[in-house]
């Protein structure tokens, strides 16, 4: 099965049309937190199953601790002939906040490449528009460790990663319109991707429109909603609107959500280690939603799940904290 791809803007002033990159619209996320040792084998097996099913887009990050499992799966896939070369894959990793300092960016991407046993990434993202005090990669965050991001110096180092060939493209994650404007004002190489929380209950219409105007592709994480820690529920999978559409189409709620995202022109990374669901998620390309379906989804109440505060421990998130301006999230 072939998963469609969408083109990314040329990411360097010196790029020619032939340098245009494309990203598979359906990818596999590997952000299982906490990532325990027994999950490593499960993760590797799930990635191999995904490659067999036609997945070519894999998303990891320093924070996830899944880079080594992904690297092992890629090596085994090559050895088994599931893919003929590493170039068939689109692999994204992310700079964690404790490394979001000018002098730590290059060491961080090189460590990611060592973990993955790869020569280059296809895409390297700033994970959040904040910094943490330099040190170990820990989660949940401690509020005392959060620092403003020196965007100019960090982005200069990100650009150097691309110039050195350590990554084909660079981008950002969890950036608002305001932060993107700030970045575009100083960037020599503009970001090609903004990866954000995006699904039918957090549609990000204004942010998506803005990114399209700026030539920045949007990738959705939490495309199936994820568990809201504050509500203890998954508002996507529990949506009666989506359940009704799914029943009428003979599809699952997850497939309806992913199909809606596909029709919005974004790519998505879906996190599951379940073989049946890995395959189920691919079956969204040979049917479409009706205009009535799309209208009903457009009217769904909106709820944002992920913020800087949500990255803190329960004890710290209950405090009255003056968090960085990233919590001024784009509202639709």
pTM: 0.92
Token digits of residue 279: 């395959």
pLDDT in tens, 287-311: 999 999 999 999 999 988 877 776 7
Report yes or no on 214 lying in a domain.
yes
**Do 90 and 60 touch, CB atoms closer than 8 A?**
no
CATH number at residue 293: 3.20.20.100
Domain region containing 146: 21-310
In a domain, 15, yes or no: no
Which residue positions form the known binding site for substrate?
A: 127
Residue 90 and residue 203: Cα distance in Å, rounded? 25
> Which position has the higher pLDDT, 140 or 102?
102
Known binding-site residue numbers: 127
Q: Is the model's pLDDT at 317 over the cut of 70?
A: no
Name beta bridge partners: 147: 131
Q: Residue 318: inside a domain, yes or no?
A: no
In a domain, 224, yes or no: yes
| Cβ–Cβ under 8 Å, residues 149 and 218 | no
Q: pLDDT per residue over 97-115, tens digit each? A: 999 999 999 999 999 999 9
Classify residue 83: in a domain, yes or no. Answer: yes
pLDDT at 330 over 60: no
Give, as one character, the DSSP assignment of residue 233: B
Q: Is residue 326 part of a domain?
A: no
152 CA to centre of own chain: 22
The per-residue pLDDT for 326 is 46
Residue 2 or 99, more confident? 99
pLDDT at 54 over 50: yes
Average pLDDT, the chain: 90
Tell me: pLDDT of 223 over 90. yes
Residue 12 resides in a domain: no
Active site residue 64: yes
Query: Does pLDDT of 139 surpass 60?
Result: yes
Would the pLDDT of 70 be above 80?
Answer: yes
Helices (H), 147-239: 151-163, 177-184, 205-213
Lowest mean pLDDT among 35-44, 133-142, 211-220, 270-279: 133-142
Say how far apart CA 222 and CA 74 lie, in whole Å.
24
User: How many domains, the chain?
Assistant: 1
Catalytic residue, chosen from 55, 64, 120, 124, is: 64
Q: Do residues 92 and 191 lie in contact, with contact meaning Cβ atoms separated by under 8 Å?
A: no
pLDDT of residue 18: 38
**Structure token digits, residue 236:** 């996507």
**In this structure, are residues 8 and 169 in contact, taking their beta carbons and an 8 Å threshold?**
yes
E strand or H helix at 170:
strand 167-173
Is residue 7 in some structural domain?
Answer: no
């Amino acid at each position: 099965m072939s998963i469609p791809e969408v083109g990314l803007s040329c990411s360097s002033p010196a790029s020619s049309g032939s340098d245009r990159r494309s990203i598979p619209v359906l990818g596999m996320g590997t952000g299982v937190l906490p990532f325990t040792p027994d999950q490593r084998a499960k993760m590797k097996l799930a990635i191999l199953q995904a490659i067999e099913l036609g997945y070519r887009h894999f998303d990891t990050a320093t924070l996830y601790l899944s880079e080594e499992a992904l690297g092992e799966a890629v090596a085994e896939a090559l050895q088994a002939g599931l893919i003929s070369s590493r170039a068939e894959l689109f692999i994204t990793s992310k700079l964690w906040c404790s490394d979001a300092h000018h002098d730590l960016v290059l060491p961080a991407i090189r460590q990611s490449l060592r973990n993955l046993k790869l020569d280059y990434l296809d895409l390297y993202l700033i994970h959040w528009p904040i910094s943490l005090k330099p040190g170990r990669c820990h989660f949940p965050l401690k509020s005392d460790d959060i620092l403003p991001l020196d965007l100019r110096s960090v982005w200069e180092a990100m650009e150097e990663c691309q110039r050195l060939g350590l990554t084909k493209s660079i981008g950002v994650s969890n950036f608002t319109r305001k932060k993107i404007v700030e970045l575009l004002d100083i960037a020599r190489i503009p970001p090609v991707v903004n990866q954000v929380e995006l699904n039918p209950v957090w549609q990000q219409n204004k942010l998506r429109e803005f990114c399209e105007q700026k030539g920045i592709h949007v990738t959705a994480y939490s495309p199936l909603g994820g568990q809201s820690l504050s509500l203890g529920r998954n508002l996507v999978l529990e949506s009666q609107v989506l359940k009704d559409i799914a029943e009428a189409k003979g599809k699952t709620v997850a497939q309806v959500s992913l199909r809606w995202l596909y029709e919005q022109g974004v790519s998505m990374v879906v996190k599951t280690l379940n073989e049946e669901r890995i395959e189920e998620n691919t079956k969204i390309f040979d049917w479409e939603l009706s205009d009535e379906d799309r209208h009903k989804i457009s009217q769904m109440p909106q709820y944002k799940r992920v913020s800087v505060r949500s990255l803190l421990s329960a004890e710290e998130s209950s405090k009255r904290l003056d968090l960085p301006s990233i919590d001024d999230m784009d509202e639709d």
